[in-house]
Amino acid sequence: MPDTPSSALPRQVADAYVDALVELDPVTGTYLGVRESHALLPDYSPAGQEELAVLARETLARLDESERLPGADAEAERRCARLLRERLTAELAVHEADEGLRTVSNIHSPAHSLRMAFTVTPTDTAEDWAAVAERLRAVPASLDGYRRSLALGLERGLLGGPRATATFVEQLTEWAGGDGAGRGWFEEFAAAGPPELRTELDTAARGATAAVRELRDWMRDVYAPAVKDAPDTVGRERYARWARFHNGTDLDLDEAYAYGWEEYHRLLGEMRKEADKILPGSDPWEALAHLDEHGRHIEGAEETRAWLQNLMDEAIEALDGTHFELAERVRRVESRIAPPGSAAAPYYTGPSEDFSRPGRTWLPVDGETRFPVYDLVSTWYHEGVPGHHLQIAQWVHVADQLSRYQATVGQVSANAEGWALYAERLMDELGFLPDPERRLGYLDAQMMRACRVIIDIGMHVGLDIPADSPFHPGERWTPELAQEFFQRHSSRPAAVVESEMIRYLSMPGQAIGYKLGERAWLLGRERARAAHGDAFDAKKWHMAALSQGSLGLDDLVDELSRL
């Protein structure tokens, strides 16, 4: 870790941590826009993981020293110190339980992070593409480090889930260009490079594809047979550890489970009312199926991308100056098509620190060319504006008032996902979902998040289904029951539901943060409104809330209530 002066206050300690982290994790550096990172990839081996842990421990020791200094109790320092301590402690708990030796997922693994780094790496100049070539040459070593971590996990009996493993093998096969001699994803990506680097890029890309095939073969032939009888769920102890990591709080899992059921019943009542307006006498999912056939659609992937761009642009024009005050660079956000082989869910990537790369929303198409509007509008309020983009871009915009850490790598999933779900609800409150079609789509998305709380906690912890449930009352949750329940209460195709289930099984505790985070944001707003009375200014509160940087749920309600 770079030397920090003995008089360093918490924000300086936090920013020194970011500098050191970027040296160990060039993927993070690329997301931040650090040019020196663009040619490099992380060491995902056990030794590389331990280097990150050493950095975290050293930073916590420096934080202990910094909090004893005069000035450390200032509001900005206090808030940063609280976040840094909570995040690093949660990360170390995950590391010390050797969770990094069994990280297999369809959406969040070293292999996924490595590939996604290329989608945000600059490619504007020949110099940029030269860095891409060097990064491509680093793919084999980086993937080999990941494989060595998984192999050590096998030796120690720390196993990834069989369903996630099977899906990951399928993804690797697609990234490698299929089972035949087709061009792999890296080769397709490199094909856009300049002619003068054609040979260098093609050679490096073929090497990257070969490394993907090698990992695929090992996962298929060695890893998958070894984990075939392992459980897909993690149990209460591991779940509690991951829930702290993703949510920034030690949850009362039984209370959160009960809250998920409360939201389920509330939303079901609202959905029935909207469904009756669309197809009288139908249940919500019959009405949604009717919309799949007869509702408004956008035809064509590129046409849908452009439509989503326009939706975000319109939202910015309508909200800026009325409900938010947005800097010009925050107003810029791009709609993109997700690369082939991505998971089924849309996602967002934030801007670089200098905004040379804007925030972007990504739509997975997976060969589809027809997209229902009811399933797009609320989702893009979530991923784009006023959801992830406004929060994350605003953090970057005010980074000089916070710390680099708070504005970037210190992000708590439940804070960000909670804001984005709150943003969907806010657009409903503000009248942006005026017709039953769009509003039922919004409620369907809300119901999905409530179901996540129920099944994610239920199946991983092994809870019973309540006796008053309309679904298998009194039985104990299993992944099979969870998937059936989710499919019954979702408008999404079976393939999307399957992808979602693999995500929940391989990222325990993350999916509950949407609803639990939204609850925290709503409670914080309610308390701030009660404190200010008639003087409560929603626009001022929103901007103050978006400018405080990331916080775990332990701290979020308290901080929001003070604004």
Q: What string of pLDDT tens digits covers the 563 residues of the chain? A: 555 566 799 999 999 999 999 999 999 999 999 999 999 999 999 999 999 999 999 999 999 999 999 998 898 999 999 999 999 999 999 999 999 999 999 999 999 999 999 999 999 999 999 999 999 999 999 999 999 999 999 999 999 999 999 999 999 999 999 876 678 999 999 999 999 999 999 999 999 999 999 999 999 999 999 999 999 999 999 999 999 999 999 999 999 999 999 999 999 999 999 999 999 999 999 999 999 999 999 999 999 999 999 999 999 999 999 999 999 999 999 999 998 877 778 999 999 999 999 999 999 998 889 999 999 999 999 999 999 999 999 999 999 899 999 999 999 999 999 999 999 999 999 999 999 999 999 999 999 999 999 999 999 999 999 998 989 999 999 999 999 999 999 888 888 899 999 999 999 999 999 999 999 999 999 999 999 999 999 999 999 999 999 999 989 999 999 99
Taking the chain, what is the end-to-end CA distance rounded to the nearest angstrom?
35
Place of tokens 């509330």: 266
Tell me the C-alpha distance between 509 and 245, whole Å: 8
Cβ proximity of 129 and 193 under 8 Å? yes
Provide the sign of the torsion angle of the four alpha carbons 502, 503, 507, 508, taken in this order: negative
* pLDDT at residue number 398: 95
Tell me the C-alpha distance between 412 and 312, whole Å: 24
* pLDDT at residue number 558: 92
SS3 content of the chain, % helix, strand, coil (to 5): 65, 5, 30
Structure token pair of residue 51: 């280097």
Q: Which of 452, 425, 414 has its CA nearest to residue 550? A: 414
Give SS3 for 349.
strand
* pLDDT at residue number 244: 97
| pTM, entire model | 0.94
Tell me the C-alpha distance between 441 and 284, whole Å: 10
* pLDDT at residue number 210: 96
Tell me the C-alpha distance between 221 and 213, whole Å: 12
* pLDDT at residue number 240: 97
Q: Quick one: 206 exposed, middle or buried, by C-beta within 10 A (0-12, 13-18, 19+)?
A: middle
Q: Go through the chain and tell me how many residues it has.
A: 563
